[in-house]
Amino acid sequence: MAQADGIQAQLNYEIAIYREQIAMIKRETERVSLTTMDLTNALKTIENIGEENALIPIGGGALIKGKVASTDILVPIGAEYLLVMDKEHAGEEIKKRIEATRKAIERLTEEFNKIAKKLQEVSAQMQQVQTQNMINRRVDGNIREDYI
């Protein structure tokens, strides 16, 4: 009986680990999806920008009217550095990033499916162990009743 309890404890631990991994993958997928949406919005803005009047965000939801004097775009390249790009190059860079985020979502989805499958397998094993424990307890109870 102690061995069955040990197996059950191990399976409970594995189930908890898989559930935590699934939760982490869901959070990461949501984060990457939001990044994809932001990049898509940036691409639309880049494609439609011209030297015209615009509303410029200044923080706190406030905007000011302004005129776009240049269509050069500052694109973040990492470590808080920005690179000045013309409209076409900036659009291409954003498209590459959108594609990278889509691939990341695909990889996360694949990983999610693998872990979900493992979780189902371990849950099925847990169900078998619990059923076997219940049967063993009934058999033990019946044996005691027969001899008492």
Phi–psi pair at 50, nearest 5 degrees: -155, 175
pLDDT single digits (tens) 59-106? 898 999 988 888 899 999 889 899 999 999 999 999 999 999 999 999
If you average pLDDT over residues 105-121, what whole number do you get? 96
Q: How confident is the model at residue 143 (pLDDT cuts 50, 70, 90)?
A: low
Handedness of CA 49, 53, 57, 58 (dihedral sign): positive
Distance of CA 88 to the CA centre of its chain: 31
The neighbouring-strand residues paired with 85 are: 73
pLDDT, tens digit (0-9, with 9 covering 90-100), for 15-72: 999 999 999 999 999 999 999 999 999 999 888 888 788 888 898 989 999 888 888 9
What are the sequence ranges of the domains in the chain?
A: 2-147
Q: Environment class of residue 84 by beta-carbon count within 10 Å: exposed (0-12), middle (13-18) or buried (19+)?
A: exposed
pLDDT of residue 113: 96
CATH no. for 2-147: 1.10.287.370
pLDDT at 133: 81
Q: In the numeric block, which tokens belong to residue 124?
A: 């099925």
Q: What is the pLDDT of residue 1?
A: 56
120-121-123 Cα angle (round to 5): 65
HSE, side-chain direction, 13 A CA sphere, residue 95: 8
Distance CA 17, CA 35 (A): 27
Given pLDDT bands bounded at 50, 70 and 90, which one contains residue 144?
low
Alpha-carbon span 79 to 35, nearest angstrom: 17
Q: Which residues pair with 74 in a beta bridge?
A: 84
Question: 70 phi and psi, to 5 degrees?
Answer: -145, 145
Per-residue pLDDT at 7: 86
Residue 70: what pLDDT? 85
| Alpha-carbon separation of residue 49 from 42, 59, 61, 68, 83 (angstroms) | 10, 20, 21, 8, 18
